Amino acid sequence: MQLVDSHCHIHFDKFEDDVAGVVERAKQAGVTKMITVGCTLADSAKACALAAQYDNVWASVGAHPHDGADFLDDEASAAKLLKLAGKSKVVAVGEIGLDYFKDYVPRDKQKATLIAQLDATSELGLPYIFHVREAWADFWPILDKYPNIKGVVHSFSDTAEHAEEVLSRGFYIGLNGIMTFTKIPEQLQAAKQVPLDKLILETDAPFLAPAPYRGQTCEPKHVLTTAEFLAELRGEKLEHLAQATTKNVNELFNI
């Protein structure tokens, strides 16, 4: 049985002294591939450098909505993003999007950063990793101006209604450890309703360790725990869910 962590941050300083151990522990849990995802341009460069060191690690590059102000402050940001996106092990642009849950960055700047990154990269043919929290009303009018792109809404933790909006655009939905500890029935219902051919798994490591590992550092190996939980929740065989979600990630990111 093989699994893929479609969204982690193993290039973060949290792991700098044990990346090889993280990758090996993931392998022992059946997690044979992983994508380490950039959150700023400098951070994305670190993701690219780490991916180059491991055969089974790939990278994604972009500016997270919390870092929007920094992206806009540099007139060369779009050119720098394009250069990063052209590196050999980069398989996606992201994570980019809108986050109105905490509003660390003014919403107008978040929208401007999202648009700037889409404008710069939409002709590359790469898939996108989107981060969206409580911002659907502004997110879709922007995204719908780019009808030919593909991607995933990562760390989905919303209602079935919003899941349908994601699926109607042909995007995938990424689920992680949140599903194992959420107390919100609507989130679990949405997780049950995502078609298997549109579901991918992730950890968001080092964040969001699944139950029963709350309080510990999340690692790619924890994809297995989330997969086991979702298989039971959805009434599916673990091997079937693993096979399908791995196929989905391989096809979306061409890895």
Sign of CA dihedral 76, 82, 86, 90: positive
Is 90 exceeded by the pLDDT of residue 19?
Answer: yes
Tell me the average pLDDT across 92-112. 94
**Residues 137-189: pLDDT tens digits?**
999 999 999 999 999 999 999 999 999 999 999 999 999 999 999 999 999 99
Q: Which of 145, 147, 149, 192 is nearest to 173 (CA)?
A: 192
**Residues 117-126: pLDDT tens digits?**
999 999 999 9
Is 80 exceeded by the pLDDT of residue 68?
Answer: no
Task: Confirm or reject CATH 3.20.20.140 for domain 3-253, answering yes or no.
Answer: yes
* Band (99; pLDDT cuts 50, 70, 90): very high
**Residues 223-240: pLDDT tens digits?**
999 999 999 999 999 999
Rounded to an integer, what is the distance from CA 153 to the centroid of its chain?
7
Is 90 exceeded by the pLDDT of residue 75?
Answer: yes
Q: What is the pTM of this model?
A: 0.97
- Rounded to 10 degrees, the C-alpha dihedral 129/131/137/138 comes to -80
Q: Which of 145, 131, 133 is nearest to 60 (CA)?
A: 131
